[in-house]
Amino acid sequence: MYTGIQHFHSYLTYLVLLGVLISFGAALAGLAGSKPFTEKDRKMGLFGLIPAHLQGVLGIILYFVSPLGLSNASGAAMKDSISRLYMLEHPLTMIIALVLITIGYSRSKRLATDSKRYKSIAIFYGIALVLILIRIPWHAWPGN
Sign of CA pseudo-dihedral 118, 19, 56, 13? negative
Parse the chain into domains and list their residue ranges.
2-140
- The answer to whether residue 73 scores a pLDDT higher than 80 is no
pLDDT at 114: 94
Q: Quote the longest CA-to-CA distance of the chain.
A: 54
pLDDT at 58: 95
pLDDT at 144: 58
pLDDT at 133: 96
Residue 23, CA atoms < 13 Å, CB-side half-sphere: 34
- The answer to whether residue 123 scores a pLDDT higher than 80 is yes
- Residues 23-36: pLDDT tens digits? 999 999 999 998 99
